[in-house]
């Protein structure tokens, strides 16, 4: 790294530290040796560089002390492992995430052409941290409900619950914490609730909500509507249709999306804020030499636009590979045994944040390889951290 590049990176690192200026330091002021911003930035860098907890973060930082001193104040050197554990345990997960709002916004840059008629796709979905259960204290695995900008690969926020069944109460809290104006929110059937639809509309967003038998009468009505009109390929009713054919790994998958304006006499239309259209996604694929199919139904506040509807549905399906699979394969998240709830939530957020940073890097390497390279080279790590790519 040249002297000029070093100066730029130092300035960008200082700007990152400023995000934490208003974050209350939860530690006792007695014998406080290390700056909160330094501790947090080292934790972010450590997780980015393949560290999976306080011990690994501290060891990585010690090995790179000379380089870190170029960017951080470090008045008393590199913190020990207990400092990272203490800070990540004491920090309020909600306050911690709020410090990153400006940073996340800076990642979501769009060109003038992209901004025109653009609606951000935000998928909300949950994931269990499978080994975070604590039998001694009668606690099951922690369940993280996260918001993911599907088309940009960026985590926007998360809320933790003790049970998957609490997802319904977690989603409104998560929506309170993120900016979703002019966005399309996609949620699976657990979040298909009238109060959530109202919250999204009141917040200036649109929704595509998966509909299943948790609303049996409504589900039956939507199913009957599409079954009836698919018999003659919607000859009697206007519909937007979009088709996709995907080939890969010896498998062919055909997907057809239908989106229809809600009939004026449709049951319950007044109960769902903003409800404008209903949709169906039909998937035909081959598994073990046998052709199979499935149909999924949706409630939408969007006007008819088959391609836009297809993109929203596909974006939500993609959260499994783009986020959950990456967290398990790149970070081995399911193997984490952290049980203290605040600590587990804050560490989980650092994984999601650093994965978002990795995905913005233009290199063609895999996420796993980029993370390894960040551990091998401070210069490469700083590229990812600051967004200054060589």
Q: Are residues 281 and 253 in the same domain?
A: yes
Residues 27 and 67 reside in one and the same domain: yes
Residue 116 in this model has a pLDDT that exceeds 90: no
**296 closest CA partner among 263, 256, 239:** 256
Any domain includes 330: no
Mean pLDDT confidence for 115-135: 81
Look at residue 333 and tell me if it is in a domain: no
Tens-place pLDDT, residues 41-99: 999 999 999 999 999 999 999 999 999 999 999 999 999 999 999 999 999 999 999 99
Please indicate, yes or no, if residue 286 is contained in any of the structural domains.
Answer: yes
Tell whether 201 and 117 lie within a shared domain: yes
In this structure, is residue 332 part of a structural domain?
Answer: no
Residues 352 and 231 in one domain: no
- Give 221-273 pLDDT, tens digit per residue: 999 999 999 999 999 999 999 999 887 666 788 999 999 999 998 988 889 99
Nearest by Cα to 301 from 207, 198, 197, 205: 207
Q: Strand runs (DSSP E) across 206-289, as ranges? A: 206-211, 240-248, 251-261, 277-287
CB 242 within 8 A of CB 310: yes
Q: Are residues 159 and 62 in the same domain?
A: no
> Cα(192)–Cα(216) distance, rounded to whole angstroms?
12
Residues 161 and 41 in one domain: no
Q: How far is CA 349 from CA 49, 106, 159, 346, 356, in A?
A: 15, 18, 10, 5, 11
Torsion 341-343-346-349 (CA) sign: negative
| Amino acid 355: pLDDT | 95
Q: Render pLDDT for 169-185 as a digit per residue (tens, 0 to 9).
A: 999 999 999 999 999 99
Q: Considering the domain boundaries, does residue 269 fall inside one? A: yes
- Predicted TM-score (pTM) of the model is 0.90
| Enclosing domain of residue 15 | 3-106+338-386
**135 plus 159 within the same structural domain:** yes
**pLDDT single digits (tens) 272-307:** 999 999 999 999 987 777 888 899 999 999 999 999
Total number of domains in the chain = 2
Q: Is residue 67 part of a domain?
A: yes
| 360 and 301 part of one domain | no
Are 58 and 127 in the same domain? no
Alpha helices in 134-252 (DSSP H): 167-177, 194-202, 216-230
The reply to whether 60 and 196 lie within a common domain is: no
Q: Which of 298, 325, 352 is the last residue of a domain?
A: 325
Same domain (yes/no): 348, 321: no
- According to DSSP, the β-strands at 240-248 and 154-161 are unpaired
* Residue 291 sits in the same domain as residue 221: yes
Report the chain's mean pLDDT, rounded to a whole number.
90
Residue 296 exposure: Cα atoms within 13 Å on the Cβ side: 20
């Amino acid at each position: 790294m040249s002297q000029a590049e070093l100066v730029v990176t130092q300035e960008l690192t200082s700007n990152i530290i400023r995000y934490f200026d208003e974050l209350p330091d939860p530690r006792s002021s007695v014998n406080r040796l290390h700056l909160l911003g330094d501790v947090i930035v080292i934790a972010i860098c450590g997780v980015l560089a393949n560290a999976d907890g306080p011990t690994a973060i501290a060891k990585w930082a010690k090995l790179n002390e000379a380089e870190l001193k170029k960017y951080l104040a470090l008045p008393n050197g590199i913190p020990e492992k207990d400092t990272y554990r203490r800070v990540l345990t004491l920090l309020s997960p909600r306050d911690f995430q709020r410090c990153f709002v400006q940073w996340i916004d800076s990642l979501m840059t769009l060109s003038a052409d992209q901004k025109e008629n653009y609606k951000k796709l935000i998928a909300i979905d949950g994931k269990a941290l499978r080994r975070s259960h604590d039998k001694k204290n009668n606690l099951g695995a922690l369940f993280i409900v996260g918001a993911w900008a599907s088309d940009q690969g960026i985590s926007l926020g998360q809320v933790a619950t003790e049970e998957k069944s609490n997802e319904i109460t977690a989603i409104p809290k998560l929506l309170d914490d993120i900016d979703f104006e002019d966005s399309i929110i996609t949620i699976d059937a657990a979040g298909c609730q009238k109060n959530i639809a109202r919250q999204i509309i009141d917040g200036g967003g649109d929704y595509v909500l998966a509909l299943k038998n948790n609303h049996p009468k409504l589900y039956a009505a939507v199913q009957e509507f599409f079954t009836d009109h698919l018999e003659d390929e919607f000859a009697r009713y206007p519909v937007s249709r979009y088709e996709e054919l995907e080939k890969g790994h010896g498998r062919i998958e055909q997907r057809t999306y239908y989106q229809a304006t809600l009939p004026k006499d449709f049951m319950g239309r007044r109960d769902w804020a903003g409800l404008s259209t209903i949709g169906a996604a039909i998937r035909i694929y081959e598994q073990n030499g046998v052709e199979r199919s499935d149909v999924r139904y949706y409630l939408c506040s969007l006007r008819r636009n088959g391609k836009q509807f297809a993109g929203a549905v596909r974006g939500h399906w993609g959260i499994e590979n783009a986020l959950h699979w990456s967290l398990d394969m790149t970070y081995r998240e399911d193997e984490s045994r952290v049980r203290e709830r605040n600590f587990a939530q804050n560490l989980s957020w650092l994984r999601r944040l650093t994965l978002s940073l990795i995905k913005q890097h233009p290199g063609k390497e895999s996420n796993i390889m980029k993370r390894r390279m960040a551990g091998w080279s401070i210069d490469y790590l700083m590229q990812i951290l600051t967004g200054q790519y060589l």
